[in-house]
């Protein structure tokens, strides 16, 4: 992974300092003195997906596999930032795929969720990017990804709906064509 340079972090911190000042705060009070640097480092961390590489994450953990039954990993938690308000959205992703001669290390599925979540995102694109990458890297017979997220931009501001949750679904390959396979996936998810 590529890190942001010290110079870039300092530049981001300078912008945070200006924002805090413009919000009417006293940037010289004790509790805020280090806040611009802390905030810059935190923002670098929660957007580190931009500086990662998918092949490095997978680390060649792709294995030969004869079977063609569904593999499902459910409830992979994620934290992301909505690209409209730069406020968090977070929730869970579940991934199913039908192998086509290859499987992937289970932890890599979770790492790939973070790879796309740790950026400015919308939930639909996050779901589609995960689905497309797994399809591409495994040449799978099919992939299905279901994501459920809570958006703070809908809770702590704006429309202020505290109980809404958003579900997005992306399918590819055989999952596009087979309602029976989609049913099998959703039944397994319910367990």
DSSP, collapsed to helix, strand or coil, labels residue 96 as: strand
Catalytic-residue membership of 177 = no
147 annotated ligand binder:
no
Catalytic-residue membership of 131 = no
Contact track, Zn ion, 149-168, x by CB under 5 A:
----x---------------
143 binds, among Zn ion, ligand GTP, none (CB under 5 to 8 A by kind): none
DSSP, collapsed to helix, strand or coil, labels residue 2 as: coil
Q: Closest Cα partner for 78 from 68, 91, 63?
A: 91
- Point out the catalytic residue in the list 17, 131, 147, 151: 151
Taking the complex as a whole, the smallest distance from the CB of residue 154 to ligand GTP amounts, in Å, to 5
Catalytic-residue membership of 151 = yes
15 annotated ligand binder:
no
153 annotated ligand binder:
yes
**Kind plus residue range of the DSSP H or E element containing 26:** none
User: Residue 90 is encoded by which pair of tokens?
Assistant: 């977070």
Catalytic-residue membership of 123 = yes
- Point out the catalytic residue in the list 11, 84, 124, 136: 84
Q: Give Cβ neighbours of residue 3 (< 8 Å, ≥ 6 apart).
A: 44, 51
* Strand 88-98 relative to strand 142-151, pairing: antiparallel
Contact positions toward ligand GTP, by CB under 6 A? 82, 84, 122-124, 151, 153-154, 158-159
Taking the complex as a whole, the smallest distance from the CB of residue 161 to Zn ion amounts, in Å, to 13
* Strand 120-121 relative to strand 102-104, pairing: unpaired
Q: Under rule CB under 5 A, which residues in 33-52 are in contact with Zn ion? A: none
Catalytic-residue membership of 15 = no
Q: Under rule CB under 5 A, which residues in 82-101 are in contact with Zn ion? A: 82, 84-85
Whichever of 23 and 159 has its CB closer to Zn ion, that residue is 159
- Point out the catalytic residue in the list 25, 52, 65, 85: 85
Compute the 3-state secondary structure of the chain and give helix, strand, coil in percent, each to the nearest 5.
Answer: 45, 25, 30
Q: String of b and e for 152-183 (b: at least 16 CB within 10 Å)?
A: ebbbeeeeeeeeeeeebbbbbbbbeebeebbe
Active site residues: 82-85, 123, 151, 153
Q: Footprint of Zn ion on this chain (CB under 5 A)?
A: 82, 84-85, 153
Binding site residue list for Zn(2+): 82, 85, 153
């Amino acid at each position: 992974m590529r890190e942001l340079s010290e110079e870039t972090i300092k530049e981001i911190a300078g912008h945070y300092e200006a924002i805090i000042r413009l919000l009417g705060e006293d940037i010289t009070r004790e509790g805020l003195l280090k806040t611009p640097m802390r905030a810059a480092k935190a923002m670098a961390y929660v957007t580190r997906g931009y500086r990662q590489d998918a092949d490095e994450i997978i680390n060649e953990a792709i294995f030969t596999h004869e079977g063609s039954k569904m593999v499902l990993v459910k409830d992979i938690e994620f934290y992301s930032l909505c690209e409209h308000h730069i406020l968090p959205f977070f929730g869970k992703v579940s991934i199913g795929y039908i192998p086509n001669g290859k499987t992937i290390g289970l932890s890599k599925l979770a790492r790939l969720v973070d790879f796309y979540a740790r950026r400015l995102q919308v939930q639909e694109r996050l779901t589609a990017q995960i689905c497309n990458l797994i399809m591409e890297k495994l040449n799978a017979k099919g992939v299905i990804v279901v994501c459920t997220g809570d958006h703070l931009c809908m809770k702590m501001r704006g429309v202020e709906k505290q109980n809404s949750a958003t579900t997005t679904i992306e399918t590819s390959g055989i999952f596009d064509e087979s309602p029976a396979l989609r049913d099998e996936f959703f039944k397994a998810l319910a367990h």
